[in-house]
Amino acid sequence: MAGGEGKAMGTASGADLSGAGEPAAGEQVTPQAGAVPAGVDAARLRELVLRAHPEAIPELVQGETLEELEASARLATEVYRRIAESVREAVAREAAASVPAGQPGRQTYLVNVEALSPAAKIAEGLRRRAE
């Protein structure tokens, strides 16, 4: 029996890892790293990866294996965060530039406008505007 186990282990470590043969007793079968498990739709797997990374830009998440999908989702999330940060900075710059620094204090004029004639009031208003 020991010779048979050695033979089975020899084939398991060989190139035949396609899963077509029955694994020997006690032999661990590891799927190919990152391979999409049999019976799992790649589009469904992509959808699950997108749910796990809600900030990822969906158009940037691509790949054939789980590792490729996760790596592209991490990259898409980082791209989203960089874009969001640059938009926040642009909005803050625009808001800071569009708000006036403050209104000048009220100016007191020595002329009593109520006592002036209409023509004199117009002349005083034009004079103040020119200042």
Q: What is the mean pLDDT of residues 69-86?
A: 95
Q: What is the mean pLDDT of residues 55-83?
A: 93
Rounded distance between C-alpha atoms, residue 107 and residue 92, angstroms: 33
Alpha carbon of 20 to those of 5, 6, 31: distances in Å?
19, 20, 13
Q: What is the mean pLDDT of residues 78-88?
A: 95
| pTM for the full predicted model | 0.46
Q: Where are the domains of the chain?
A: 39-99
Alpha carbon of 112 to those of 116, 127, 131: distances in Å?
7, 14, 18
- Other Cβ atoms closer than 10 A to 116: 14
pLDDT (0 to 100) of residue 85: 96
> Position of tokens 């991490």?
74
Grouping H, G, I as helix, E, B as strand and the rest as coil, residue 121 is helix
pLDDT (0 to 100) of residue 17: 45
pLDDT (0 to 100) of residue 35: 62
Q: Tell me the pLDDT tens digit for each residue of 25-68.
A: 555 544 555 566 666 788 888 999 999 999 999 999 998 888 99
Most confident of 18-22, 28-32, 85-89: 85-89
